[in-house]
Structure 1
Amino acid sequence: MQDEALKVLKQYFGYDGFRKGQDEIISNLLAGRDTVGIMPTGGGKSICYQIPALLLPGTTLVISPLISLMKDQVDALADVGIAATFINSSLSFNEGRNRLAAAASGKYKLVYIAPERLELPDFLQALQRMDVSLVAVDEAHCISQWGHDFRPSYRKIEAMLAHFPKRPVVAALTATATPRVTADICRLLQIPQNQVIATGFARDNLFFQVIRGQNPDAFLTDYLRKNRDQPGIIYAATRKDVDRLCSQLAKAGFSAGKYHAGLSEKERVDNQERFIYDDVSVLVATNAFGMGINKSNVRFVIHYSLPRNIEAYYQEAGRAGRDGEKSDCILLFSPQDIRLQKFFIDQSDMDEALKKEEYHKLDQMIGYCHTESCLQGYILRYFGEEDPEPCHHCGNCLDTREKSDVTVAAQKVLSCVKRMRERYGKLMVAKVLAGASDQKILSFRLDRLPTYGLMKDQTQKQIADFIDFLTGEQYLELRGGAYPTLALATRAVAVLKGEERVFKKGAVHAVQLEVHSELFERLKQVRKELAQKEYVPPYIIFSDQSLREMSARLPSTDRDFLMIKGVGQQKLEKYGLAFMEAIAAYEAAATSEEG
């Protein structure tokens, strides 16, 4: 059966071999064994059920959480000649009924459904008329209340399985499951723990970095300027931040769209499609955007705000580099974000046990922002991997910045906060230290403090940025509600007494992602034109990885073109000529220039 699986992989998907874990999961499913597969985002989870779907009799039912993901998957399967469809709330009643009838007659090898369908008795009855040999549960962590995206409808899956005359084989797949969530998936779907296949969570093509104690807007603008036109996602915690950032980027001349729950459904869909179809390069979004987004050429994910936990962060960051190309995952840490996340937890309707768990997860997220050890190693330990080796390619592993002694400046700030009786916020402290003489300072008699004007050689903004650094390094802490005040943290005492010195590294500067060749850019244009004709996202035609290989190997025959990773027979017949003609034209132009 393994040889047949490899043959199908090459014929339809254009790959010569399976990635780590894929062959084991596929072998298990073909042998009739229920399996939990835990693989990193971009690790090829969909192949794990799509190959068995083509080799098993009957139909494979795929339970998927998002409408956009279903459409993406079905478009991609249709593009390689595989019969698939989806049934969800985007269809009219008649269209949904027609597709269900066609599925019952065996027209489709894969049928994608939303978990909420399982709550409809008529739908469950219709499923019994289908010859379902495999049920694939995508984003399987949604079944557990201890996961970060719990969806109650996922709990209906086990009851649905009992409706079939013969229980189908079950594949439960996810990229973000802690040991506790994995055990929950096994218990709720009745899958033995020894049938869990975990390939590890490491993503070696991703560059993780935390920026703290710096102005986030300045870093963001610098980064986007150096990586203009590269596709990327910027996550912010609130709709207000999304609106402000998107407007700010548009004014600076960047091609940006936005996505959050406050927009109309039409606006959200339009903006998402403009991003997926490469019509805008940057999407600024809340976490309402993204689960299951299949866009493979996202080159960076920047978190402008602190995520609520490591699972959510790794899933969102993991939307970068799904094609295996090098990509950036950057978190811009601001201490005030901690208060916002605590507010979200407090205002939720979770029971006290779950709130306590969420607070614990938030503490681990904050720990990630402050660790000086390997960032990828920190994430891997969170997901249960013991003693992971340093990755040698994250922001901490590669950090060679010199440290400078800023103890005296720190003592001035800490002393000022103490003299102001820990009753004021960052801006007022900065004004006092800078020697400002506005009405508020004078009316509160803050100009009479011994620390007034102690840092008048610096601007208020420079002082405020330094206060952010001291807060980020936990010498200061924020207290209070909407307008937080600064207070001394425990470790500030030793600094004020002269028992501990404070060191600050230089600012982190944004770097440019890899520059592509002229031919690669031409092939991207060919891809976009073909995508527009077929009304599909460009990455469904070919991934950036395939285009890079074409621009390096310059295929000129059908045989050469089939050797490119991601090219199967169907794609050769549909697109081979267009790309080989573009390559030949480029070579001819280059030869004539040399002549």
Structure 2
Amino acid sequence: MDGKHQVLQEYFGYDTFRPGQGELIDALLSGRDAFGVMPTGGGKSLCYQVPALLLPGVTVVVSPLISLMRDQVLALKKAGVGAAYLNSSLTQPQMDQVCRRLLAGEYRLLYVAPERLLADRFLAVVQRLDIAMVAVDEAHCISQWGQDFRPSYLRIVEFLGRLPRRPVVAAFTATATAQVREDVRRILALRDPLEIVTGFDRPNLRFEVLHPKNKADALLALVRDRGSRCGVVYCSTRKEVENVCRMLQEHGLSATRYHAGLPEEERRENQQDFLYDRKTVMVATNAFGMGIDKSNVGYVLHYNMPQSLEAYYQEAGRAGRDGSDADCILLFSQGDVRTARFLLEHGEDNEALSDRERQQVEEQGRRRLNAMVGYCKTNCCLRGYILDYFGQEHQDECGNCGNCSAATVERDVTVQARMVLSCVQRIRNHLGYPLGAAMVIRVLRGSGDKRVKELGLDGLTTYGLLRDTPRPQVHELMDYLEEQGCLHTDPVYGGVTLTQRAGDILFRGEPVVMVLRARPVFQSAKKAGQPKVEEDGLFSALKALRLRVAREEGVPAYLIFSNATLADMAARAPVTMDGLLQVSGVGGYKAQRYGREFLEEIRRYQEET
């Protein structure tokens, strides 16, 4: 067994590497820079943790959030690895102690916030160390075209230049377009890096977009249906977080909240309640989650649509990090688009950018938002839509998303499509400029709206042509026509216009056949059933033991063993230490520390059943 496999087995409890891991590790061990683009849960951290235990000296890991550092350092310590972090959560005496132990050779990995890299006291310490490797986690943050640009990441380049010798450099990210990947390579000045993109697919995640009439009822039904599984509910605003969390609590669900408007102490307590499984549902804005290493999140629900597919995939990807099956469900309404546009226009402060750069950033934001809206409205495979966005090939249908599994029916809507397209064109001809989809629908349905009459739109020949068609169906048809490239919505002003392809339908007889998919019907909150009970059996018994051990040690339960490890343990039901070491995720250190208790629990369960 070679060194990297021995480390993998002894400290992390796995027999084989996932795709791309072994090659990246070999490159770093040989002194070559490396750049890995791997999905959340794809094992990025092992790509620098394994070589850190084999290279002489210390590995510095640049990480964006305190929660990420704390989680990973806790997990490493539980695996028997010397690791520490330096960030603003520590007092100065605590930082001094970390530095003394670092100089004494007690740590192999040091996690550092980018803001601290150029601090005089920190530089004075690291310049006395043998820095074997610098690993940049969440590397997309270094690109101003990325969805999480952090100017502090630009300090990494100067930090590397201040070291006595340049160490090997590793960069990792889960979500990066081709442009962002180019920025990472260029800004970090990676030297002949081995670049591996293992793919963005997460087969264990099931994606679904729902269009409920009442989001609160739908959310309540979804959370109740998932029983005691841990989940995250993302909302776009602080007010929405407060309302949703209160609603769940009023219906007896174990929920807490997280957003930037809460006092720091309350945010920390709420996050700890979720990490330690004292609360099973976290309702939060996007201020929560980046770098959260909680492996047993069984579902991520989006109460509102995010502003980009990068943000959505990163947030949804916090489910199923241990490889277990998990759900990623987005509740969509047209109001989400208006909210997202408002947040986009009043969000990031781009004053530091030139006028040209600001314009490019704003245009990029609009393109991202349009792609996100397209995901919410498509009838095609949702997984395929995401993979298309990131430039990865895929099959036409994945069989594991809401669109692929939904019952479908084809309907010829050629006549209605011509009415819609004709109405769009007649509005523009009449006014000299286009209007948005909402006004087009009002005209088609013969609305008596004051604005319709003021503009004289009630005199158009298309006025009232779809009077008997419900508004959601007309909207769905317009979405479909836009998805098929017949309509275009201006990303700034929202006006709808015809494309060249629309002429094929209006004038050249092209039919329009729309694929309709069945939408789930949710019970009202008052009629919804009780939460499902967690499955019985050995798995449940092992989870109970894990929780007891975790509480005794004061750590999150998933740091003892992940859900996937417990599931494999329950399936194998080992009765000896050698058998326990065959369980995925059980390394030598953890087997020695926890093996006896878990083997006794397995024997007890078998005797009682």
For the criterion TM > 0.5, the same-fold answer is: yes
The answer to whether the 8 A contact 2:480-2:514 is kept is: no
Q: How far apart are the structure 2 equivalents of 1:423 and 1:161? A: 53
Equivalence for 1:60: 59
Q: How far apart are the structure 1 equivalents of 2:303 and 2:385? A: 20
Q: Match for 2:251: what amino acid?
A: A
User: SS state of the match for residue 124, structure 1?
Assistant: helix
In the superposition, the TM-score normalised over structure 1's length comes to: 0.85
Q: Match for 1:48: what amino acid?
A: C
Q: Match for 1:572: what amino acid?
A: A
Q: How far apart are the structure 2 equivalents of 1:130 and 1:107? A: 12
User: SS state of the match for residue 405, structure 2?
Assistant: coil
Deviation at 1:489, TM superposition (A): 9.3
Q: Match for 1:188: what amino acid?
A: I
Trace 1:291-330 onto structure 2 (pairs within 5 A). 291-330=290-329
Equivalence for 2:565: 546
Q: Match for 2:387: what amino acid?
A: L
Equivalence for 2:189: 190
Trace 1:16-415 onto structure 2 (pairs within 5 A). 16-192=15-191, 195-212=194-211, 214-347=213-346, 348-350=348-350, 351-386=358-393, 390-402=397-409
Q: How far apart are the structure 1 equivalents of 2:278 and 2:163? A: 44
Structure 2 portions without partners, runs of 5+: 351-357, 449-462, 523-530
Change (3 A) 1:152 1:297: same
Equivalence for 1:577: 596
Deviation at 1:374, TM superposition (A): 2.2
Q: How far apart are the structure 1 equivalents of 2:26 and 2:154? A: 27
1:468-515 deviation digits (Å, cap 9, x = unpaired): 65675579999999xx99999999999999998896846433899997
Q: Match for 1:234: what amino acid?
A: V
Equivalence for 2:456: none
Q: How far apart are the structure 1 equivalents of 2:243 and 2:502? A: 34
Pick one of 508, 512, 516 that aligns with 2:519: 508
The answer to whether the 8 A contact 2:308-2:371 is kept is: yes
Change (3 A) 1:283 1:119: same
1:261-307 deviation digits (Å, cap 9, x = unpaired): 11111111111111111111111111111001101111111112111
Q: How far apart are the structure 2 equivalents of 1:82 and 1:226? A: 39
Trace 1:524-539 onto structure 2 (pairs within 5 A). 524-539=543-558
1:310-369 deviation digits (Å, cap 9, x = unpaired): 111111111111111111111222122222222222223331111111111111212222
Equivalence for 1:441: none
Change (3 A) 1:485 1:14: closer
Deviation at 1:34, TM superposition (A): 0.8
Q: How far apart are the structure 2 equivalents of 1:496 and 1:517? A: 60
Deviation at 1:140, TM superposition (A): 0.7
Change (3 A) 1:535 1:296: same
User: SS state of the match for residue 170, structure 1?
Assistant: strand
Deviation at 1:415, TM superposition (A): 13
Change (3 A) 1:487 1:158: closer
Change (3 A) 1:388 1:156: farther
Q: How far apart are the structure 2 equivalents of 1:86 and 1:194? A: 27
The answer to whether the 8 A contact 2:35-2:196 is kept is: yes
Change (3 A) 1:467 1:302: farther
User: SS state of the match for residue 117, structure 2?
Assistant: helix
Deviation at 1:309, TM superposition (A): 1.1
Change (3 A) 1:25 1:464: same
Q: How far apart are the structure 2 equivalents of 1:215 and 1:410? A: 28
In the superposition, the TM-score normalised over structure 2's length comes to: 0.83
Deviation at 1:72, TM superposition (A): 0.6
Deviation at 1:398, TM superposition (A): 2.2
Change (3 A) 1:183 1:488: closer
Of residues 491-500 and 19-28 in structure 1, the stretch that sits farther from structure 2 once superposed is: 491-500
Q: Match for 1:542: what amino acid?
A: F
Deviation at 1:127, TM superposition (A): 1.7
The answer to whether the 8 A contact 1:83-1:110 is kept is: yes
Of residues 488-497 and 206-215 in structure 1, the stretch that sits farther from structure 2 once superposed is: 488-497
User: SS state of the match for residue 247, structure 1?
Assistant: helix
Q: Match for 1:586: what amino acid?
A: Y
Q: How far apart are the structure 1 equivalents of 2:50 and 2:423? A: 65
Q: How far apart are the structure 2 equivalents of 1:507 and 1:215? A: 17
User: SS state of the match for residue 55, structure 1?
Assistant: coil
Q: How far apart are the structure 2 equivalents of 1:228 and 1:367? A: 31
Change (3 A) 1:356 1:518: same
User: SS state of the match for residue 545, structure 1?
Assistant: helix
The answer to whether the 8 A contact 1:495-1:502 is kept is: no
Of residues 500-509 and 190-199 in structure 1, the stretch that sits farther from structure 2 once superposed is: 500-509
Q: Match for 2:336: what amino acid?
A: D
Change (3 A) 1:33 1:271: same
Deviation at 1:539, TM superposition (A): 0.5
User: SS state of the match for residue 36, structure 1?
Assistant: strand
Residue correspondences, number: 580
Q: How far apart are the structure 2 equivalents of 1:238 and 1:492? A: 38
Equivalence for 1:439: none
Q: How far apart are the structure 1 equivalents of 2:145 and 2:374? A: 20
Q: Match for 1:178: what amino acid?
A: T
Of residues 184-193 and 470-479 in structure 1, the stretch that sits farther from structure 2 once superposed is: 470-479
Q: How far apart are the structure 2 equivalents of 1:377 and 1:503? A: 19
Deviation at 1:15, TM superposition (A): 0.6
User: SS state of the match for residue 288, structure 2?
Assistant: coil
Q: CA RMSD in A?
A: 4.1
Q: How far apart are the structure 2 equivalents of 1:55 and 1:316? A: 32
The answer to whether the 8 A contact 2:228-2:534 is kept is: no
The answer to whether the 8 A contact 1:233-1:301 is kept is: yes
Q: How far apart are the structure 2 equivalents of 1:268 and 1:100? A: 28
